[in-house]
Amino acid sequence: MQMSWSCPIPGHAGDCDFSLSPRIEGQAEATISSERSGWKASLDVRLLNDEHVFQDEISALVQESKNLHFHRLIPELAEDMGFLREHRIADCRSGSIHLAGVAAEAGLVVRQASGYFVGVPFLVPHIWLDVDVNGQWIAADPFFLQTLAHWGVVEPHVWPPERSPRNVLWRIRNDHKEEQLIRHEAVDVPVKLIARMSYEPRGVDGSH
């Protein structure tokens, strides 16, 4: 992934002092470099390359997701569960918060996760749930998959809501907050992210 950004406060005294989020620092393939047009850094992010389809574990989440309609929400509404319950409208943040409650009532052990949906070439900030399956955290996002199927972006028989989208998710945090990737001293910096995908072939035994 290529990250690029510009100084958020041009004309300030002294040199720019940028820092990577500690949550992604270990994934940095190259140090921050500057060009005339701005600054860049490269990240080498390894995504999972194995499929998981839930059986009946998340049936309550799948059913409840059918009752929700996706819409981009202002921050004040994104964590307002009263608004969601009344209007059945949610974005990925409010949807994950709501479904975490549904999961708890169904006896599931879940956690919220945030990071990016990795499309090529563009990445989209995203929030989803991880479900504990025999001690392993596996991403579950039936609301997102049903929304994409409704929009005609994916084929529902290829991406049913029971399928884990973990192969296209870059997890950064284990909560529903969005991580600021670059900071200029105390100022958050808007970042452009461009992705390129490469694949490692599997061995005969299924290993990489």
Same domain, 163 and 186: no
Cα gap 33→44, rounded to integer Å: 16
Q: Is the CB of residue 2 less than 8 Å from the CB of residue 40?
A: yes
Domain assignment of residue 75, yes or no: yes
Task: Report the CATH number that the domain containing residue 105 is assigned in CATH.
Answer: 3.10.620.30
Same domain, 166 and 130: yes
Same domain, 157 and 83: yes
Query: Range of 34's domain?
Result: 2-46+178-194
Same domain, 71 and 42: no
Distances in Å between the alpha carbon of 97 and those of 41, 87, 152, 206? 32, 15, 25, 35
Same domain, 36 and 63: no
Per residue of the chain (208 residues), what is the pLDDT tens digit?
Answer: 888 898 888 888 888 888 888 888 776 655 566 665 578 887 878 787 789 999 999 999 999 999 999 999 999 999 999 999 999 999 999 999 999 999 999 999 999 999 999 988 989 999 999 999 999 999 999 999 999 999 999 999 999 999 999 999 999 999 988 899 999 988 899 999 999 877 665 544 454 4
pTM for the whole structure: 0.84
Domain assignment of residue 97, yes or no: yes
E-only strand ranges, 134-197: 136-140, 169-173, 182-184, 187-188, 192-194
State the total domains in the chain: 2
Quick one: pLDDT at residue 11?
85
